Amino acid sequence: MSLSRRHFLQLAVAVNALSLFKAGMVNAEPGIGLKFGPPSPFSFETLKTLARERAGREYAPPPQPDPAIVKQIDYDAHGKLQYRKEAALWAESGGSYPISFQHVGMFFPKTVIMNVVEKGTAREILYDPRLFTMGPDHVAKGLPASPSAFAGFWVHESRKGSDWKTREPWVTFLGASYFRAIGELGQVGLSARGIALNPGTSNPEEFPDFVSFWFEPAAKTDDPVTVYALLDGPSLTGAYRFLLRRTRGVVMEIEAALFLRKDIERLGIAPLTSMYWFSETAKPTGVDWRPEVHDSDGLALWTGVGEHIWRPINNPSHIMVSSFADKSPKGFGLSQRDRVLDHYQDGVRYHLRPSAWVEPLGDWGEGAVQLTEIPTDDEIHDNIVAMWVPKEPATAGKTYDLRYRIHWLADEAFPSPLARCVATRLGNGGQPGKPRPKGVRKFMVEFLGKPLAKLPYGEKPEPVITATRGELSRIEIEAVPDDVPGHWRTHFDLAVTGQDPVEIRCYLRHKDEVMSETWLYQYHPF
């Protein structure tokens, strides 16, 4: 995605009002309202059949309204295309959560067909330029009514709240197969995708599109908004059903049927995409005035055998792909654990970014959670991908039936009961007051949690540390001097030569009892 992440997050909230399609057309203002196409039968099974049939045909990209005009709808011009408040789906009746639509533009140039469903019947929601605010000289006025110029949609807070028109939408689908949600702290941040194809490989990454959506209303605020989606791309098609629930954050239950047209080198299931520039762990001197800049600071894993793992994210000098082999994983996610404003000092509120947790439903079998870290020198790029990659090759003609949930919260959906890693810091190794030896790095890893708080007075946990290469020394453990019960830190030196990465592993134990989750870190020698 080429759109600046900061600009994306600052797009104005466009909120609208509309009744269900069976009412025909809403005339809150003369000439303004939704119009609908002819009815046709619809179900998830018919959508699966459509996806399967498309996979058997040659790929045809979705239509694009006049490219010469669309490429002129830049960030500023797109921001002026706000969907009219009197034209949101279900703003007055028919569903608890209004839906507004987003316009095509330079960063989202492809048409996405929108449909509304009632009692097994679907109608297309027809594009009309009058649904958007456009000044008399706006470049988008030159677009014809067909093909549609819808590019995505927003799901708004309950229409029963008087402030839903000004609050942050709680779900957004916009661009390729990208979608995102706010967490319980009221912020958006990282994104999810319908699928990821070949990230971090020698082959170009492919970005299939959600080319059509179908909407079923939530009768009550406790009910889910149901969204169906048709995915299409050169290498595969897919039929998706999203059950979107507004909880203290957002929970999405997702069912997907995938049909492969071509062999795929790396098929990424339930991919999460985020931004990590630098943090307290390590950063070049003077790279930026802020102490930290990231939407997520680590990958959390809950393995099939029950181990909880925390892997801090890096900004490497070249693309790195790390694989965490597993069988029947219980879950994984990209998290923002650092919630202290002073650690960021940024008005965009990085400390409130959501964490996203993927919960597999059913047995996903053998494979690996793969973490792709891409170098970046700015915060405008999504440079982190986490996803599940099945062990078996993804070959043409193969099908996949998947179910999973994504929890958009402040923390992991199922946090470890053990002490958890709360900070990772790197510095020069050796002893203060003496020459610092070259090639020696000091690591400081902090853990916090109830098991450590329950240690008998005078007893210490034991750090268990291993490294794939190099020599470990000066291993120590101490309580952090902040009078917080259960807050401990271990520090150690690692002497290593050469530039190859080093995988380091650490956890705390007391006698035979494991006290903490497992900290993993990929160290890149300077």
Instruction: Give which of 241, 243, 242 is closest to 223, Cα–Cα.
Output: 243
253 CB-near residues (< 8 Å, 6+ apart): 224, 242, 243, 245, 361, 403, 404, 405
Comparing 86 with 459, the larger pLDDT belongs to: 459
Could you give the 3-state DSSP secondary structure of residue 349? coil
pLDDT tens digits for range 86-139: 789 998 888 899 999 999 999 999 999 999 999 999 999 999 998 998 888 899
Average pLDDT over residues 294-323: 97
Mean pLDDT for the stretch of residues 349-372: 97
| Averaged pLDDT score across all residues of the chain | 91
Q: Is the pLDDT of residue 347 over 60?
A: yes
523 contacts 441 by C-beta, under 8 angstroms: yes
Query: CA dihedral defined by 104, 108, 111, 115, rounded to 10 degrees?
Result: -80
Residue among 420, 438, 428, 388 nearest 488 (CA): 420
Backbone CA torsion sign across 405, 411, 412, 413:
negative
Instruction: Give the per-residue pLDDT at 4.
Output: 42
pLDDT tens sequence across 69-90: 999 999 999 999 999 877 899 9
Q: What is the mean pLDDT of residues 415-426?
A: 97
pLDDT digits (tens, 9 = 90+) for 137-179: 899 998 987 889 999 999 999 988 878 888 889 999 999 999 9
Give CA separation, 376 vs 318, 384, 437, in Å: 9, 10, 30
Model pLDDT, residue 433? 84
Distance of CA 413 to the CA centre of its chain: 15
What is the CB-side half-sphere exposure of residue 70 using CA atoms within 13 A?
A: 20
> How high is the pLDDT of residue 200?
86
Of 121, 139, 141, nearest to 131 (Cα)?
141
Write out the two tokens for 221: 């605020």
Give strand pairing partners of 516: 419
pLDDT of residue 91: 82
In this prediction, what percent of the chain has a pLDDT beyond 90? 82
Residues 421 and 313: their CA atoms lie apart, in Å, by 13
Report pLDDT for 86.
Answer: 79
Mean pLDDT of 383-409: 97
Q: Is the pLDDT of residue 13 over 60?
A: no
Which contiguous run of DSSP H or E holds residue 155?
Answer: strand 150-155
pLDDT average, residue stretch 202-209: 93
| DSSP summary character for residue 342 | G
Q: Is it the case that residue 190 has pLDDT exceeding 60?
A: yes
What is the rounded average pLDDT of the residues 464-480? 97
pLDDT score at 228: 98
Banded pLDDT at 5 (limits 50, 70, 90): very low
Strands 308-312 and 518-523: parallel
Q: Which one-letter amino acid corresponds to residue 180?
A: R
- How high is the pLDDT of residue 162? 78
For 170, how many CA atoms within 13 A lie in the half-sphere containing its CB? 25
Closest CA to 212 of 133, 81, 123: 123
**pLDDT for residue 239 is more than 70:** yes
Domains of the chain: 5-409 (2.70.98.10), 420-523 (2.60.40.10)
Q: With 0-12 CB in 10 A as exposed, 13-18 as middle and 19+ as buried, what is 250?
A: buried
Residue 26 pLDDT grade (very low, low, confident, very high; cuts 50, 70, 90): very low
Mean pLDDT (whole number) for 220-249? 97
What is residue 16's predicted lDDT score, i.e. its pLDDT?
31
pLDDT of residue 379: 95
